Amino acid sequence: MRYEVQLASSNSGEKNRVVELERRASGWRVTLDGRAVAVDAVEIAPNTLSLLLDGQSFEIRVTPSPDGKLNLHTGKQEFIAEVIDLEHGAVAATVA
């Protein structure tokens, strides 16, 4: 599965990322902008994920908005994400 993620925040402006996910017997293979990334993700509560990303730990609260975008909260940072399924050309914002 290949997605374009458009991230926006008041602190860092807008960024586009390409995320590729491949399910394997041992979990997921994740590529971010063409670079393999070590990721472990667990849903610890409804709409709340615990991510271990390249050795760094993040807790992310995800709130879907009516326009199909996702509001992401981690620590003191907030982001708005739009997830586009590049294989099907559709907005694909969902929560784990």
CATH number at residue 9: 3.30.700.30
Q: Is the pTM of this model over 0.85?
A: no
Residue 95 has a pLDDT of 46
Residue 96 has a pLDDT of 42
d(CA 66, CA 86) in angstroms, rounded, equals 21
Domains contained in the chain, number: 1
Residue 72 has a pLDDT of 95
List, for the chain, all residue ranges whose pLDDT scores fall below the cut of 50. Answer: 95-96
Residue 11 lies in a domain: yes
Domain of 64?
A: 2-91
The CA radius of gyration of the chain, in Å to the nearest whole number, is 13
Residue 46 lies in a domain: yes
Residue 44 lies in a domain: yes
Residue 54 has a pLDDT of 83
Residue 36 has a pLDDT of 92
Q: Is the distance from CB of 41 to CB of 96 less than 8 angstroms?
A: yes
Residue 96 lies in a domain: no
Residue 48 has a pLDDT of 96
Residue 13 has a pLDDT of 86
